[in-house]
């Protein structure tokens, strides 16, 4: 993995192989694995989030398959019930992990809708078919947490963009507050995932986030983690877990 002009470089063929191995363990296959690296990264981030819950002791099941095919939502267009997702259950906790999920703002002073690359929603928050009154997005309170996937080197302005998204969708995480039951349910903090390295200046900014009360996760070099998905047992540890060491060391 390297970088060229601010864009990250990843081995698309290796990532596709790893993702096929991951979904095969769910006795399914992806309907398509795009040649577009940014979309491939979104699928990879979805897999990493699903693996996080499996490693946290949840039963994770690929849901809404179509003849054994996991249909990935690869953009903002389309309704979630026409695509596949992951159901996660542990005891009385039940959540869904969706790709490109539409969400209303935390402030709800307008009809603005934001689409997160990976969204974790409360179980039952998303209709299984189009409601008679129509549907635009899930209400903000039903969004548990989310992940953003970027095919970029992590520069300061990318961090600023991500923090802006957190401010709009989950502002309590920027005040040092996690929702009640969040930690007991083993959720991950809002996460920025990229195949790019963490730029030196961005590293210093991210290192100071805890002091500022920012409860977010920054995950560089995601392609290296994704390559581990090809293992028979999947990932050995979650890169999204709070006990996973933040990777702030960079060469330059």
pLDDT per position as a tens digit, 112-153: 899 999 999 999 999 999 888 888 999 999 999 999 999 888
CA distance 163 to 167: 6
Domain extent listing, the chain:
2-230
Query: Whose CA is closest to 98, among 174, 42, 163, 168?
Result: 42
Confidence (pLDDT) at 34:
67
CA distance 99 to 48: 12
Structure tokens at 196: 């790019």
Confidence (pLDDT) at 10:
60
Query: Whose CA is closest to 65, among 24, 12, 115, 123?
Result: 24
Can you tell me whether residue 250 is helix, strand or coil?
coil
* Residue 45 · residue 85 · CB < 8 Å: no
Could you say which residues of the chain have pLDDT below 50?
1-2, 4-5, 7, 250-252
64-85 b/e (C-beta count within 10 Å ≥ 16 → b): bbeeeebbbbbeeeeebeebbb
Largest CA distance in the chain: 55
DSSP β-bridge partners for residue 88: 60, 95
Can you tell me whether residue 6 is helix, strand or coil?
coil
């Amino acid at each position: 993995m390297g970088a060229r002009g601010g864009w990250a470089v990843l081995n698309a063929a290796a990532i596709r192989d790893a993702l096929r191995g991951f979904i095969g363990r769910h006795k399914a296959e992806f309907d398509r694995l795009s040649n577009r690296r940014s979309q491939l990264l979104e699928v990879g981030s979805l897999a990493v989030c699903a693996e996080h819950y499996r490693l946290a002791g949840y039963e994770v099941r690929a849901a809404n398959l179509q003849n054994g095919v996991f249909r990935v939502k690869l953009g903002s267009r389309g309704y979630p019930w026409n695509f596949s997702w992951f159901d996660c259950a542990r005891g009385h906790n039940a959540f869904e992990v969706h790709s490109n999920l539409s969400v209303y703002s935390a402030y709800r002073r307008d009809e603005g809708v934001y689409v997160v690359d990976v969204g974790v929603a409360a179980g039952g928050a998303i209709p299984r078919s189009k409601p008679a009154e129509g549907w635009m997005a899930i209400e903000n309170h039903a969004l548990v947490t989310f992940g953003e996937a970027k095919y970029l080197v992590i520069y300061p302005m990318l961090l600023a963009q991500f923090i802006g998204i957190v401010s709009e969708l989950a502002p309590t995480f920027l005040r040092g507050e996690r929702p009640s039951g969040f930690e007991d349910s083993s959720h991950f903090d809002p996460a920025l995932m990229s195949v790019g390295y963490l730029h030196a200046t961005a590293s210093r900014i991210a290192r100071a986030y805890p002091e500022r009360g920012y409860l977010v996760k920054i995950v560089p070099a995601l392609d290296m983690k994704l390559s581990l998905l090809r293992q028979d047992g999947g990932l050995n540890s979650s890169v999204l877990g709070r006990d996973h060491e933040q990777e702030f060391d960079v060469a330059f």
